[in-house]
Amino acid sequence: MGHQPSTHTHPRATEIMTVLEGSLEVGFVTSNLENRLITKILQKGDVFVFPVGLVHYQRNVGNGNVVAISDLSSQNPGVITIANAVFGSAPEIHSFLITFNRSSKQWQN
């Protein structure tokens, strides 16, 4: 199996992806406060744009390999892998902050 990137973001670039072979699920999460997941299944010839700074992913959903080309709008796009940033920080982020729910009583106090 080939490379399948973790959920990540590019803080300084928009990414455009073109599928050359296979089936690829792509998605990104809109900005606060809505935080809505937008997904699409791409087939050969389809193109998808990941807006700058938004958390996004790609996942092979076909039976075979996927071949895709990604281009970024900057020579220095940066990349932040979400799981590494949140769960691999040093010192670690307190679990209360990671699981914090805006509708909880703690938020309202």
Known binding residues are 8, 10, 15, 56
Half-sphere exposure of 103 (CA within 13 A, CB side): 1
Q: Which residues are annotated as a binding site for oxalate?
A: 10, 15
Closest C-alpha among 26, 25, 84 to residue 54 = 26
* DSSP helix/strand/coil, 58: strand
**Residues making up the binding site for Mn(2+):** 8, 10, 15, 56
